[in-house]
Amino acid sequence: MRIGVFGGTFNPPHNGHKKLALEIPGRLSLDLLIIVPTHIPPHKEARMLADDEDRLNMCRLCFDEKNIVVSDVELKRDGKSYTVETLAQLKESYPDDKLYFIMGSDMLLSFHQWREPEKILEFADICAVSRHEDETEKLRNYVKKYFAECKDKFTVLEFDPIDISSTEIRNSKDTSMLPAKVAEYIKERGLYT
């Protein structure tokens, strides 16, 4: 099988995440997409982070399509959520399958500074999502500079994003860019107030 791994804080998961989760499997010919909510993100400060259980539940409500599963693999671990550890665990569960780690363009540009990037590439290929042509060229140049010897492990896909962020949603309390079930869950639980 070809399996995509899409991680993030999902604080909360919004229509942009959903659009990506619905489009990427077709673009990469994936059989399965695994959504992985992060316990403690190592690359950014998570302000107003809803607790693990709420983010897991919101992901289950958001990503409820066939061939998409939500995993609590990172939520079960203590400390920061490092991709290399997550992929090692997933590779144990799917030893004969091909893994693709999906990330945004901003994350790719710091990939050489991640914990054990070479080990990550042993577990999975990287798929970076680009928002426009200029950015795509920048990403390809980055891969040539830092990972020339294994550039075939990287794919850059142009993707027409929905211009929204979880931070904007939390700050504005505007739930119009959320799947209806997620918006209702936030209201019922009194999150981000």
Domain coordinates in residue numbering, the chain: 2-189
Which neighbouring-strand residues pair with 157?
Answer: 129
The residue that leads in pLDDT, 160 or 156, is 156
**What's the predicted TM-score (pTM) here?**
0.93
> DSSP string of 132-188?
SHHHHHHHHHHHHHHHGGGGGGEEEEE----S--HHHHHHH---TTS-HHHHHHHHH
pLDDT in tens, 131-145: 777 888 999 999 999
**How much is the pLDDT for 109?**
94
The token duo for 120 is 């990550």
Average pLDDT across the chain, whole number: 93
**How much is the pLDDT for 121?**
98
> Which residue carries 């992060």 as its tokens?
38
**How much is the pLDDT for 106?**
85
**How much is the pLDDT for 5?**
98
Contact 44, 81 (CB under 8 A): no
Given a cut of 80, whether residue 13 has pLDDT beyond it is: yes
Amino acid at 10: F
Split at pLDDT 50, 70, 90, the class of 118 is very high
Q: Mean pLDDT over residues 58-74, rounded?
A: 97
Which neighbouring-strand residues pair with 41?
Answer: none
**How much is the pLDDT for 40?**
79
pLDDT in tens, 14-55: 999 999 999 999 999 999 999 999 987 766 565 678 999 999
Given a cut of 80, whether residue 61 has pLDDT beyond it is: yes
Strands 154-158, 32-37: pairing kind: unpaired
CATH number 3.40.50.620 is the correct assignment for the domain at 2-189: yes
Q: Mean pLDDT over residues 94-118, rounded?
A: 95
